[in-house]
Amino acid sequence: MLAVMAAGMAALGTRWAVAAQREREAELLFRATQFSRALASWRDATPAGQPAAPMQLEELLQDTRGPVPRHHLRRLFTDPFTGQADWELLRGEDGRISALASRSRQPALRRLHKPLRAEADPARPAVGDWLFQAEARAPTAASTDSSRSDPRSSPR
């Protein structure tokens, strides 16, 4: 009876660990997506002649480049795997933030269609291998295919 109870407790512990990992991964995706959106918002709000990316994450909290300060991010999120706001910042040639990633080397349970670090093992990436960049610009009316027409606007 004791062996059966021990085996049951071990199985329960494994399930709990996997559930906790999935929850941290979901929270990481939410928080890092907020940073991605904030980087895209910064880029899209860039006045002519100004840099299109911040030097520090704190600049996303209050952007003073224009006449009216903008808030691209409400607060600096912590990494759910490390418990600290110690994100790894990837920088472009100009030294400005181009992407961010978790510092955790915990193997990922999810398989995402996200860019990975160059040194990542694509067969078994870690959550810290996921790169979160500024989201792509939404297509503008001028860049959409003009050959398609709206079926509601066609004459009957």
Would 45 be classed as within a structural domain? yes
Would 26 be classed as within a structural domain? yes
**Per-residue pLDDT tens over the stretch 71-93:** 999 999 999 999 999 999 999 99
Which residues form the domain of 90?
2-137
* Cβ-based neighbours of 121, under 8 Å, separated by 6 or more: 129
**Per-residue pLDDT tens over the stretch 46-68:** 998 999 999 999 999 999 998 89
pLDDT classification of 155: cutoffs 50, 70, 90: very low
Would 142 be classed as within a structural domain? no
Nearest partner of 29 among 103, 114, 136, judged by Cα: 114
Cα–Cα distance for residue pair 151/131, rounded to 1 Å: 39
Would 153 be classed as within a structural domain? no
Contact at 8 Å (CB) between 35 and 75? no
Total structural domains in the chain? 1
Cα–Cα distance for residue pair 130/100, rounded to 1 Å: 9
